[in-house]
Structure 1
Amino acid sequence: MSAEPSGLTPAQSAQLTRRAMLLSVSVAATLVALKLAAWIASGSVALLASLVDSGLDLLASALTLFAVRYAAIPPDAAHRYGHGKAEAFASLLQGGLVFASAALIGREAVQALVTPHPIQREGWAIAVMLASTALTAGLLAVQTRVLKRAASVAVAGDRAHYAADLASNLIGLAGIAAAALLGVAGLDAAAGLAIAAILLWGAVGVFRQASDQLLDHELSERTRAKIVELMTQDGRVTHVHQLRTRAAGPVVHVQMHVDLDPHLSLEAAHKVIVDAENRVLSEFPSADILIHPDPRGRAEPHGGAFAESAPPAA
């Protein structure tokens, strides 16, 4: 399901999202440096798997940061619906990089199972994996707080990626420790295979969420019901139909037909519609709303590609 709208303006949501992605890039860069040094010293396959994953994390987070900035650009003459779907494209890219990292990790793990070799300086490897786990857990906590306030499919995709990383760090740590304590090098490679499987599962979730936005998945029934409730608080709005909703990054697009008293003047009908729109915006300030008024009992069915049946009689 697509990310649900928040109570923030697009500017506020974009600011929170940029901060979260800047932190993600910083954490990924730190982890790459730590893991690279530890892998050179230890030769651990599980650590190599985690290093490859962190390297792709850095690339994905940097590209997603660019996409988040681009998605926040206001609508222009060529993109009248804004640039919000850039976030979903960035999430698709993240999913592809996760699949690539899983393939590389799986190949290294299989080779290590066939020709196992002992881990060197396992103390360094364990220390780095502990630091990596702590940094990743801290980043996830920040991203979780951001997602409670701002609906961003880019941050959600990045968080899903790092959640898989946290699990892979724990498995890698267990594999390195077990191989060091028991002297069985194959345990390290087995941990690498487990990490690859977790990354594949995480990539599926990232693809699913990004595709929901790219394919204009409807918002939740709860959100749609809330929109209808806000519209019909004024008794002069007697029916809402042809309600369509979709998310594009931090912005949600809402369009609908509403039934009004056919004897209202054009000015009075306009005021009813504007007041109803403002009620929806008070709850969903990031919404772009289009409302088509119909004279109750006299409206023609909506035609075209999304034709509807005749509206109910008054």
Structure 2
Amino acid sequence: MVPPNTVTAQTNAIADQARLLRLATWASVSTALVLILAKLIAWGLTGSISVLASLVDSAMDLGASVLNLLAVHWSLRPPDREHRFGHGNAQALAALGQSALIAGSALFLGAEAIGRLLQPVPLAATGVGVAVILFAIVATLALLAFQRHVIRRTRSPAIRADSLHYATDLATNLATLLALMLAGQGWSKADPLIGLGIAGWVLVSALRLGWEAVDLLMDRELPDADRARILDLASSVPEVHGVHGLRTRRSGQRAIIQLHLVLDDDLTLANAHRVALVVEAKICALYPDADIIIHQDPSSLGAEPGEAMEP
């Protein structure tokens, strides 16, 4: 049985994370809708390929943000008979889907930029385009600041993926702003060249995002620094003579941690259980929402066959 104060901390942490995740997804969708409308107007007035690139990027952001909203809603459902560990991997699936959307937008932008290089088209109303892109930059910066706060509190892969979209969108907006300013000075090829550079940046971001999503779906271990901290916390309890069999992974923003404690042979079952609760409480202080499984081993057995002791 987990101590009541630990249960309360876990419940409060999960509720707070759920609230932040829902706010972040709705903020993302709302921002994308506003930016699409503004950039659509700017593209209609300027005909800029860079503005079109930024518009397509925002359209992909909207699709990804809606996907995120649905995935986060699904991932926050409690465990059920078919999903004992919960539905957290829905966020990793959403991140993988987003990477495909981003890669598609990159290929589209690259094709449009190459076409504009081969058949240049003069830009118009660059002043309007500059004003719209400046507005987009401010709105994106505000959203990124909020998403950074949510990621720090929840470690959500879906929000991290969405934040990467908008970081890419910010870079796209800055590049578009530069392209419009150079085009206004007579540098006609600056617009498609910068649009092509944006496409390359977006494609690289998509590949990185997809790789991170695959890592989550393949149950990649937590970072070495986090694993070392878990081992240190477990080993700090006086009755614990060793820790081995540490296995970790993430399901959405929730860490899943399994480990074995080496205890005295003559320790009673009740005392062994008490030691495990102390270790669990220490780990929960580091990961308040973690799903922790602890197994107790008598010291006379040492490590299990074929399993090396953790350092």
Task: Return 5+ residue gaps in structure 2 as ranges.
Answer: 1-9
Matching residue of 2:86:
82
Q: Do 2:25 and 2:65's aligned partners in 1 also have CA atoms closer than 8 Å?
A: yes
Using the alignment, how far apart are the partners of 1:145 and 1:276 within structure 2? 29
Q: Do 1:157 and 1:206's aligned partners in 2 also have CA atoms closer than 8 Å?
A: yes
Secondary structure in structure 2 of the residue aligned to 1:9: helix
The residue identity in structure 2 corresponding to 1:80 is: R
Q: For 1:5-84, what aligned pairs fall within 5 Å after superposition?
A: 9-84=13-88
Give 1:250's match in structure 2, choosing from 253, 256, 277: 253
Q: Do 2:249 and 2:257's aligned partners in 1 also have CA atoms closer than 8 Å?
A: yes
Using the alignment, how far apart are the partners of 2:213 and 2:32 within structure 1? 22
What's the offset of the Cα at 1:229?
2.0
Matching residue of 2:287:
284
What's the offset of the Cα at 1:269?
1.3
1:151 aligns with 2:150: no
Matching residue of 1:168:
172
1:95 aligns with 2:99: yes
Matching residue of 2:116:
112
The residue identity in structure 1 corresponding to 2:191 is: D
Q: Do 2:276 and 2:294's aligned partners in 1 also have CA atoms closer than 8 Å?
A: yes
The residue identity in structure 2 corresponding to 1:27 is: T
Using the alignment, how far apart are the partners of 2:252 and 2:231 within structure 1? 23
CA RMSD of aligned residues (A): 1.7
1:294 aligns with 2:297: yes
For structure 1, which segment, 60-69 or 198-207, has the greater mean C-alpha deviation from structure 2 after superposition?
A: 198-207
What's the offset of the Cα at 1:299?
5.0
Using the alignment, how far apart are the partners of 2:182 and 2:101 within structure 1? 29
Secondary structure in structure 1 of the residue aligned to 2:161: helix
Q: For residues 142-201 of structure 1, what are the alpha-carbon distances to aligned partners after superposition, in whole Å with 9 as ceiling and x for unaligned?
A: 11122222211111111111111111111111111111222x332211111011011012
Using the alignment, how far apart are the partners of 2:221 and 2:175 within structure 1? 37
What's the offset of the Cα at 1:257?
1.1
Using the alignment, how far apart are the partners of 1:43 and 1:15 within structure 2? 41
What's the offset of the Cα at 1:263?
0.5
The residue identity in structure 1 corresponding to 2:102 is: V
For structure 1, which segment, 156-165 or 277-286, has the greater mean C-alpha deviation from structure 2 after superposition?
A: 277-286
1:196 aligns with 2:196: no
TM-score between both structures, scaled by the size of structure 2: 0.92
Give 1:141's match in structure 2, choosing from 145, 149, 154: 145
TM-score between both structures, scaled by the size of structure 1: 0.91
What's the offset of the Cα at 1:205?
2.1
What's the offset of the Cα at 1:67?
0.5
Q: Do 1:257 and 1:291's aligned partners in 2 also have CA atoms closer than 8 Å?
A: yes
**Greater RCO between the two (CA within 8 Å, min separation 6)?**
1
Q: For residues 185-233 of structure 1, what are the alpha-carbon distances to aligned partners after superposition, in whole Å with 9 as ceiling and x for unaligned?
A: 3221111101101101211221122122111111122211221222222
Secondary structure in structure 1 of the residue aligned to 2:293: strand
The residue identity in structure 1 corresponding to 2:55 is: L
What's the offset of the Cα at 1:249?
0.9
Using the alignment, how far apart are the partners of 2:303 and 2:197 within structure 1? 59
Q: For residues 23-57 of structure 1, what are the alpha-carbon distances to aligned partners after superposition, in whole Å with 9 as ceiling and x for unaligned?
A: 11111000000111111122111111111111111
Secondary structure in structure 2 of the residue aligned to 1:119: coil
Matching residue of 1:3:
none
Give 2:188's match in structure 1, choosing from 176, 185, 188: 185
Q: Do 2:244 and 2:303's aligned partners in 1 also have CA atoms closer than 8 Å?
A: no
For structure 1, which segment, 275-284 or 21-30, has the greater mean C-alpha deviation from structure 2 after superposition?
A: 275-284
Identity %: 40
What's the offset of the Cα at 1:279?
2.0
What's the offset of the Cα at 1:300?
6.7
Using the alignment, how far apart are the partners of 1:191 and 1:232 within structure 2? 54
Give aligned pairs, total: 300
Task: Return 5+ residue gaps in structure 1 as ranges.
Answer: 1-6
In the superposition, relative to structure 1, how do residues 125 and 294 fare at CA in structure 2: closer, same or farther (>3 Å)?
A: same
Structure 1 residue ranges (4+ consecutive) displaced by more than 6 angstroms after TM superposition = none
Matching residue of 2:135:
131
The residue identity in structure 2 corresponding to 1:119 is: L
